[in-house]
Structure 1
Amino acid sequence: MSSITPITADDRPAWEALWQAYLTFYEAEVPADVTESTFQRIVADEHLHGAFARDAEGRPIGLVHWLTHPGTWTSKVVCYLEDLYVDPDARGEGAGTALIEHVRDWARLFGATSVYWHTKEDNATARSLYDKVATSTGFVHYEIEL
């Protein structure tokens, strides 16, 4: 079972390694200044939050980032789980589930009405976990870059 800990300023090298692996998985590139800003906002833990799953030796093996925002279908806030990644060598051991449960529990205490996220349609490995811990809404994601 993984332990879950907040991401701190001292965690920069471990966070960066997992963050870059996550971006590589999604074939994405994020400019260095955005990566720096993202890390600083996670460490500030005000609007953007982050946590690690750690193995038995305390090494970070997965990360999760989330935020809340007002909803239009509720008078409360909702929680968006924006990024979730577990090192491929550590998958299948509960880290992903533990990270999702951590965000769910945090969101419940914060007063959110739900936690939601997106994934690629062909991300079968992740979707097999998501189908166990959440309900697919059937929505398709669209985006306009500005």
Structure 2
Amino acid sequence: MGEGDIHIRRATADDAPVLQRLIALHRHADEEDEKVDRYRERLDSLVVNDQHHIVVAEAAGQVLGYAAAQDYGPAPQRDWSIARMHDLWVSPDARGRGAGTALFRAVQTWAEEQTRIRVLEWQSLEVAAEFYKKLGLSGERVDEADPRELYEIEVHLPGATGVE
């Protein structure tokens, strides 16, 4: 299967149980993070929340992974908002086929199409750093003492000039 076989679409409530099973099956592949776990447990309600943009990658009718982002809305002192990508996850046996890139591009396109979103941000573990480098992105180390090796990554979107 090549990249052409992968289809990205907006997640529905019907996808949440499938995603929960995939995550549980491959939980050992990710670093334990209570905040991330709580987010994933709420996927069934978040897929129908307009402030969240959750997309799935599928091939031959099988869900391979998903990406989830949230528009935080404008802060009181500005008329633009920051969106955060909470999760980008592809089943380990489906990696290397372009699903992760397609999921990231779908989130980036969504953020670019929202007139008020000017910055897309997220944190990445060291294990995913090479993936983001292939996309032309790099991040700054969050905390040198943090054993999880988290990197903060930001993408300033078109029209985002002057963003502080």
Q: Would you say same fold, with TM above 0.5? A: yes
Gaps of 5+ in 2: 147-164
Instruction: Report how many aligned residue pairs link the two structures.
Output: 138
Q: Which moved more, 1:87-96 or 1:19-28?
A: 19-28
Greater fraction strand: 2
* Displacement over 4 Å in runs of 4+: 34-37, 71-75
- Against the structure 1 CA distance between its residues 67 and 35, is the aligned structure 2 distance closer, same or farther, given a 3 Å change threshold? closer
The structure whose Rg is larger is 2
Structure 1 vs Structure 2: percent identity of aligned residues? 28
TM-score (norm 1): 0.77
| Structure-2-length-normalised TM-score | 0.69
CA deviation string 1:49-91 (max 9, x = no partner): 2111001x12100111110223699741122111111111111
In the TM superposition, what whole-angstrom CA distance separates every residue of 1:78-122 from its partner, at most 9, and x where no partner exists? 22111111111111110000000000000011121122211123x
Over aligned residues, Cα RMSD in angstroms?
A: 3.1
Report which stretch shifted further, 66-75 or 11-20: 66-75
Q: Distance in 2 between matches of 1:72 and 1:120?
A: 31
More helix by share: 1
Q: Return closer, same or farther for 1:29/1:127 CA change in 2, 3 Å cut-off.
A: closer
- Aligned-partner Cα distance in 1 for 2:40–2:134: 34
2:42 is paired with a residue whose SS is helix
Matched, 1:59 2:59: no
Cα distance change, pair 136–75 in 1 and its aligned pair in 2 (3 A):
farther
Are 1:7 and 1:42, in contact at CA under 8 Å, matched by a contact in 2? no
